[in-house]
Amino acid sequence: MIAFVQGPVAAIASGTAVVEVGGVGMAVQCTPNTLAGLRLGEPARLATSLVVREDSLTLFGFADDDERAVFEILQAAPGVGPKLAQAILGVHSPDALRAAVAGGDEKALVAVPGIGKAKAAKLLLEYKDKLGAPHGAVPAQKPIASAPAPWSEQLHSALTGLGYAPREADEAVAAVTPEAEAQQTTDVGALLRLALRGLNRAR
């Protein structure tokens, strides 16, 4: 198992970061919030989980060990693969997810692309005794001082990466722009959750 990768960030793209480790570029699949915390050329340390398939080896990266542990619990559930597990963490932080599961908040899971009401109900039962209680109060999202690209571009890439059409992503970015400007925040994770709520209401 590759427990973590550490080194300068060589590239950042939609859903992927490349971390240079001993002269080798390691491509790591990350959530938009994790990518937003990375800076090109600066050192980074990502907890990782290697997913092995017959035709692929995919390395998923996380901001910390807790996020990785939750990812591994999520993807072990029937009908949930690594991509959906990552999508869940793209919408909810580990403690926000624990709080949602503990409170039986079906709407929180339905906010994740690819999860409908029936699946959300099943997953709440599946995860109820596995995720545990939140480790503390769910913190308010903090603004990001600077980002490797404008927040709107990151948000657009995150939405298209989750399967939304470019037109839908454009409309969602436009819809959350007033909120982002009012709160003076470029927190891509918080804005992604806001955009997803709007998209779900529109469907």
Q: What is the pLDDT of residue 201?
A: 63
CATH code for position 12: 2.40.50.140
What is the extent of the structural domain holding 8? 4-62
The answer to whether position 139 is within a domain reads no
Q: What is the pLDDT of residue 27?
A: 95
Residues with Cβ within 8 Å of residue 55, at least 6 apart in sequence: none
The answer to whether position 138 is within a domain reads no
The answer to whether position 142 is within a domain reads no
The answer to whether position 135 is within a domain reads no
Are residue 9 and residue 57 in the same domain, yes or no? yes
The answer to whether position 134 is within a domain reads no
Q: What is the pTM of this model?
A: 0.68
Q: What is the pLDDT of residue 163?
A: 73
Tally of domains in the chain: 3
Q: What is the pLDDT of residue 172?
A: 83
The answer to whether 96 and 138 have CB atoms below 8 angstroms apart is yes
Could you list the pLDDT tens digit for every one of the 203 residues in the chain?
789 999 999 998 878 999 999 999 999 999 888 888 889 999 999 999 999 888 888 999 999 999 999 999 999 988 899 999 999 998 899 999 999 999 999 999 998 888 899 999 999 999 988 887 776 654 444 443 344 346 777 777 777 777 778 888 888 888 888 877 777 666 777 778 888 877 766 55
The answer to whether position 174 is within a domain reads yes
Q: What is the pLDDT of residue 202?
A: 57
The answer to whether position 70 is within a domain reads no
The answer to whether position 67 is within a domain reads no
Are residue 95 and residue 122 in the same domain, yes or no? yes
Are residue 58 and residue 14 in the same domain, yes or no? yes
Are residue 89 and residue 50 in the same domain, yes or no? no
Q: What is the pLDDT of residue 150?
A: 63
Are residue 87 and residue 46 in the same domain, yes or no? no
Closest CA relative to residue 17, chosen from 32, 2, 4: 32
Are residue 12 and residue 56 in the same domain, yes or no? yes
Are residue 121 and residue 157 in the same domain, yes or no? no
Are residue 53 and residue 81 in the same domain, yes or no? no
Are residue 58 and residue 95 in the same domain, yes or no? no
Q: What is the pLDDT of residue 35?
A: 87
Residue finishing a domain among 18, 40, 62: 62
Residue-wise over 167-186: b if at least 16 C-beta within 10 A, else e? ebbebbbeebeeebeeeebb
Bridge-based pairing state of the strands 56-62 and 4-13: unpaired
Q: What is the pLDDT of residue 139?
A: 46
CATH code for position 86: 1.10.150.20
